[in-house]
Structure 1
Amino acid sequence: MKELEDIVKAFDIAQQHGKQTALATVVQVEGSSYRRAGARMLVTEDGELTGAISGGCLEGDALRKARLAMAQQQPMLVTYDTTDDDDAKLGVGLGCNGIIHILIEPIFADDEHQPINLFKKILSKRQNAVVVTLFSLTNRKAAQPGTCLFLRGDEFFIQYDTPELTMQLQADAEAVLKASRSATHTYTTPNGNELTAFVELLKPAVSLLIFGAGNDAIPLAQMAAVLGWHVTIIDGRANYAVAGRFPSAPKMLLAKPQEALSQLSIDENTVVVLMTHNYNYDLAMLRQLLPLQLTYVGSLGPKKKLERMLDELQQEGMTITPNQLQSIYGPTGLDIGAQTPEEISLSILSEIQAVLQQREGKSLRNKTTVIHVHEMDALPVNHENL
């Protein structure tokens, strides 16, 4: 989500200076690549790049293609085949082993439903949304529809004039929103053309609630901000909960434990770290957080501290279910030998990322399967004769 936020900001700046822009989106990948489907980059007419579609090897050529798309005022599909050992002919050293399809769309500022405006709608609310990007792999010279559908809750917009395909696109978008997983589909239109749709689920940024405004929370907030997570600092001490101590945290809350949650917005993308170094404060927060069944609640400190808090809650008569225990991580963080506040912050954020992505946090060199396993890597689903 950070990439979308950066792209929106860059687009607004480009508009202020009267610059033309184009959006490059990785819409499909076959095999290995540095970025996966959904990676985006905004290009201005004078060569400013925001976001990334590769590790840096495709950006130069994509810039040239984007300028052409802006000049022609038409979307275009560009394919890079990195499976060829002689990739020098592309003018880039790719170092990957896959085929990357990138759709480049010129952005028309006066179009209410152009992609950047859709991104602004998505960023305006902390809700899952679906965006559909439609393109033709079989006929790259044909008109490329591009970003044509937005779906979030009861909000729906589609910009495509084939009724049969419109109905199927909407149904597939609703299925992705329900399953909470992106997908790729192919369609055969009534006139025999084949189109591919990248039906992309976009989730809100991770919301990290840090209970504790001590010095060790400062690097945690800074590193989380680099990841694009939305950070809130909560503490009951007025001399600690000071905005100037946490410039990377846009939200600061001075509150006692019993007052905190009522002033916070918590959703399925919210994670928590308890690091007040105050046993009673952490205990009071854990008492309130356990019933919420969040994906991740980290408890800083020794395991005995967490065990003591859980025992105390049970002695109070609180029933703690196995599912609730699964969401509590104490001591918080991965075992990477962390000692300094910065290293501990890295350890904590790495564990949260692994939990959110349902990974074990092991060394990649020990994997015997591919690193990225995405639903889009499977063979597309075909909808014939729409």
Structure 2
Amino acid sequence: MKESQDIIKAYEEVKQAEAQAVLATVVKVRGSTYRRPGARMLIREDGTTVGAISSGCLEADVVERSKKIRETPEPTTVVYDMTSSDNDVWGLNLGCSGVMHILIEPIRLSVAATHLRFIGECVRSQKLGVAATVFRVDGEFKAKVGTRLLVKEDGAVAEDINNPVLSAALLEDCLRTLRSRQSVVREYRFLEGVVEAFIELICPPVPLLIFGAGPDAIPLARLAKELGWHVTLVDHRPGHATKENFPTVDALLLARPEEIADAVPLKPHAAAVIMTHNFSHDLQLLRTLLPSPVRYLGVLGPSKRTGMLLEKLREWGFTPSDKQRTRLHSPVGLNIGGESPEEIALSILAEIQAFVSGRPGGFLKDHSGPIHDSHHDC
């Protein structure tokens, strides 16, 4: 997500300067590739780039192609087949392999610009979206490469497909992707030809709620922002929850533990970390957060302390369900031997990243399957 945010920022700068730029997007892959569909790279007029589409194998060639793309109004899809024996052509000594389909388009066209604005809206509104991008048209079927259909989480649709049959098929798959939360590549066969489109799920940043504004919360908030997450810091002490201590967070909320149900947006996609170092405050926060819809709840401190918190909740008449206990992570973080606040922050964020990605968080060398999932989800 941080990469997408950097690209959106670069696009805004290009737009402000009334300059030209080109957008390269991975729309389909086969075999082992460094990046998966949805990876992007913005190329400025001077050849500098933001983002990456490979491990360095393809960027130079795409930058060279972008010079011609800027001079033409037509987007184009380039297929890089890196499975041949002539590996040196694409620099497979850098670790590239597989087949990659990359859509290259001038951003000055309204379609690509609208697409980047759409991603920016999803980021700012913390809402899901789906973008269907046509990247291959074979035969006589009336459709253009680079055209899109965009669907917001509330069902609002924008498009420039100009073909009702294709538009209906794309919309159906976009709505299906909103439900499944998985990006897919779809091929549509018509009497007049074949159309292929990338149905991309646009995910907002991970919403991270940090409860407690102690010194150990500072690196957690800073590193989370480096990942591009949306960070909210909650504490009842105005002298601690300050912009001086937390200059990068998206929101600073002053609220006591008993007030958070009304003061803090507890959304289903959010991850929450309790680190107040105060037993009574943690107790009240657990009482509110355990039955809340947040998908991940971490508590700083040893398991014995958390056991005491849960026992106290039972004395209050609240016993967490099995589902609620499953969302509870305590001690919070992966077991990486973290001691310093920065190391502990790293272990916490690594665990949350593994959790939201559906991964176990172990050593990659012990993982027998592919490093990347075949699909992208939230």
TM-score, normalised to structure 2's length? 0.93
Structure 1 segment 128-277 matched on structure 2, within 5 A: 128-136=128-136, 144-152=144-152, 153-191=154-192, 193-277=193-277
Report if aligned partners of 1:107, 1:115 keep a CA contact under 8 Å in 2.
no
Report if aligned partners of 2:57, 2:91 keep a CA contact under 8 Å in 1.
no
**Residue 97 (structure 1) shift:** 2.1
Q: Which moved more, 1:168-177 or 1:235-244?
A: 235-244
Report if aligned partners of 2:184, 2:199 keep a CA contact under 8 Å in 1.
yes
Question: Structure 1: which amino acid aligns with 2:145?
Answer: P
Question: Residues 93 and 74 of structure 1: is their aligned pair in 2 closer, same or farther, counting only changes over 3 Å?
Answer: farther
Structure 1 segment 307-386 matched on structure 2, within 5 A: 307-375=307-375
Question: Structure 2: which amino acid aligns with 1:276?
Answer: T
Question: Structure 1: which amino acid aligns with 2:244?
Answer: G
| Offset from partner CA, 1:284-304 (integer Å, 9 cap, x none) | 111001111422110000101
Structure 1 position 126 matched with structure 2 position 121: no
> Could you tell me how far apart the structure 2 residues matched to 1:72 and 1:299 are?
55
> Could you tell me how far apart the structure 2 residues matched to 1:370 and 1:112 are?
31
Q: Which residue of 1 aligns with 2:84?
A: 84
**Residue 238 (structure 1) shift:** 2.4
> Could you tell me how far apart the structure 2 residues matched to 1:112 and 1:146 are?
8
Residue identity over aligned pairs, in percent, reads 40
Question: Residues 217 and 124 of structure 1: is their aligned pair in 2 closer, same or farther, counting only changes over 3 Å?
Answer: closer
> Could you tell me how far apart the structure 2 residues matched to 1:119 and 1:296 are?
25
Question: Residues 163 and 111 of structure 1: is their aligned pair in 2 closer, same or farther, counting only changes over 3 Å?
Answer: closer
Q: Secondary structure of the equivalent of 1:97? A: coil
Question: Structure 2: which amino acid aligns with 1:73?
Answer: P
> Could you tell me how far apart the structure 2 residues matched to 1:368 and 1:260 are?
43
Question: Structure 1: which amino acid aligns with 2:300?
Answer: L
Question: Structure 2: which amino acid aligns with 1:51?
Answer: G
> Could you tell me how far apart the structure 1 residues matched to 2:98 and 2:37 are?
12
Q: Which residue of 2 aligns with 1:48?
A: 48
TM-score, normalised to structure 1's length? 0.91
Q: Which residue of 1 aligns with 2:106?
A: 106
| Offset from partner CA, 1:39-60 (integer Å, 9 cap, x none) | 0111122213112111222211
Question: Residues 56 and 96 of structure 1: is their aligned pair in 2 closer, same or farther, counting only changes over 3 Å?
Answer: closer
**Residue 110 (structure 1) shift:** 5.5
Q: Which residue of 2 aligns with 1:284?
A: 284
Structure 1 segment 9-28 matched on structure 2, within 5 A: 9-28=9-28
> Could you tell me how far apart the structure 2 residues matched to 1:39 and 1:242 are?
35
Report if aligned partners of 2:296, 2:327 keep a CA contact under 8 Å in 1.
yes
Q: Which moved more, 1:1-10 or 1:356-365?
A: 1-10
Question: Structure 2: which amino acid aligns with 1:164?
Answer: V
Question: Residues 287 and 107 of structure 1: is their aligned pair in 2 closer, same or farther, counting only changes over 3 Å?
Answer: same
Q: Which residue of 2 aligns with 1:95?
A: 95
Q: What is the count of residue pairs matched by the alignment?
A: 373
Question: Structure 1: which amino acid aligns with 2:283?
Answer: L
Runs of at least 5 residues in structure 1 that lack an aligned partner in the other structure? 377-386
